[in-house]
Amino acid sequence: MTEQRAYIRPAPVVRGASVAERNADCRIYRVSGLKYPLACRPNQDDPILLRNIFEAEEYRLPIENFNPKFIIDCGANVGYSVVYFANVYPKAKIIAVEPEEVNFKMLEGNATFYDQVTCIRSAIWDKETYIRVVDDYNSTAGFTTVETTADDPQALKTTSIGRLLEGSSFDRIDLLKIDIEGAEKEVFEADDVHDWLSKTAVIAIELHDRVKRGCSSAMFRALARYDYFLALNGENLIFIREDMIN
């Protein structure tokens, strides 16, 4: 991936258009270094995500000879991070979780060429309950989730990282990517957080204290029990348990 850079044209500015209107324009993009094309909405945040992931390589890890077997992508959006992982780690089994309906359809389409990817329409939470997706920022890269009841017409059943690990055939998470727009506070404050955190080798996370106060403190309190090495790449904090890598 490093030698073959991706070149994506910038998105035009669309003022006053709703998310639904901007969703309507979806095109096929060819990205250098990738065998298969990707669906992209040029009037949405998709081109920015493409550049961040394939040009800036914000999920490139500072680890030599890293060969993950199991990856969970929490907040997979339209699947660009999933495709990046599938190309860099072609032998890894990947679970991709995304709650927003249109993003999820694009995720399924972009991941369709990669047999090792399983897409789940759900939201990561601290327990099994119901949430609804909220568009606070008129942005397809910034949907948030709030807890609701089963009788809400927009209710979507949640899942948890622990449940995803339990339902897999693996005994650990080699790489956990988290970009869930503030729900990381609930995730790291969950009663079962150490059940899966103790079995996680690498975490790549974007924190959202601007969306929900307490995300960072909840995460650092949970991680304090473990010996993680911290690296930065773009907006992501990357935590590495070197004892689980070597």
Predicted TM-score (pTM) of the model is 0.89
Q: What's the pLDDT tens digit per position in 24-50?
A: 788 999 999 999 999 999 988 899 999
* pLDDT at 230 > cutoff 80: yes
Q: What's the pLDDT tens digit per position in 55-87?
A: 999 999 999 999 999 999 999 999 999 999 999
Give alpha helix (H) positions in 125-237. 161-166, 184-188, 193-197, 215-223
DSSP 8-state assignment for residue 161: H
**What pLDDT does 2 receive?**
35
The tokens for 52 are 């961040």
**What pLDDT does 20 receive?**
57
Q: What's the pLDDT tens digit per position in 102-153?
A: 999 999 999 999 999 999 999 999 988 998 888 765 455 557 788 899 999 8
Region label for 164, one of left (φ > 0), alpha (ψ between -120 and 50) or beta (otherwise)? alpha
Q: Is 230 exposed, middle or buried (0-12, 13-18, 19+ CB in 10 A)?
A: exposed
